[in-house]
Amino acid sequence: MAAEGFRGPRQLWNAFLWSMKGLRAGWRHEASFRLEVCLAVVVIPLGLWLGQGALEKIALALPAFLVLSAELLNSAIEAVVDKVSPEFHELAGRAKDMGSAAVFLLLVLLALCWALVLGPRWLG
């Protein structure tokens, strides 16, 4: 008998397929996600190329992955809120606004990391 909570190859494969399904849904249904993917396609390789050493590469590339993750979570929150409460409700609006704010803060983090890592190098 398998140990409790053991995830064999089939369960791992299914989890991978569900993740790919989620990425496809984000791409198909969320314009913000598509825009942020386009940003990430530029920023991640550029950050890996421009970064000097592992820590700089991480500081330049990681925030883009965090933005994409937060955008998917924000979209999930919006979908659930719209399903549960199709009419406007203050709490529903607050949940959507807070999800959007999380994405915004990570975009600010991305810009800050790029400015702190590359700014001194480029400005003098």
Tell me which amino acid residue 22 is: G
Q: Is 34 exposed, middle or buried (0-12, 13-18, 19+ CB in 10 A)?
A: middle
**pLDDT tens digits along 46-65:** 999 999 999 999 999 999 99
Here the tokens at position 98 are 């807070």
Active site residue 90: no
CATH, domain 31-123, list 3.40.50.920, 1.10.3720.10, 1.10.287.3610, 3.30.70.330: 1.10.287.3610
pLDDT at 4 (0 to 100): 66
Catalytic-role residue among 4, 36, 56, 71: 71
**Alpha helix ranges (H) inside 1-124:** 9-29, 31-50, 54-84, 90-123
The Cα 9–Cα 5 span in angstroms is: 13
pLDDT at 2 (0 to 100): 53
Is 97 within any annotated ligand binding site?
yes
Is 75 within any annotated ligand binding site?
no
pLDDT at 121 (0 to 100): 86
Span 99-117, mean pLDDT?
98
Residue in 72, 79, 76 with CA at minimum distance from that of residue 40: 72
Q: Is the pLDDT of residue 88 over 90?
A: no
Is 79 within any annotated ligand binding site?
no
Span 66-89, mean pLDDT?
94
Domain boundaries, the chain: 31-123
The Cα 97–Cα 70 span in angstroms is: 13
pLDDT at 86 (0 to 100): 83
Q: Is the pLDDT of residue 80 over 90?
A: yes
pLDDT interval class at 3 (50, 70, 90): low
**pLDDT tens digits along 6-21:** 778 999 999 999 999 9
For residue 7, is it left (φ>0), alpha (ψ between -120 and 50) or beta?
beta
Is 111 within any annotated ligand binding site?
no
Mean pLDDT of the residues in the chain: 94
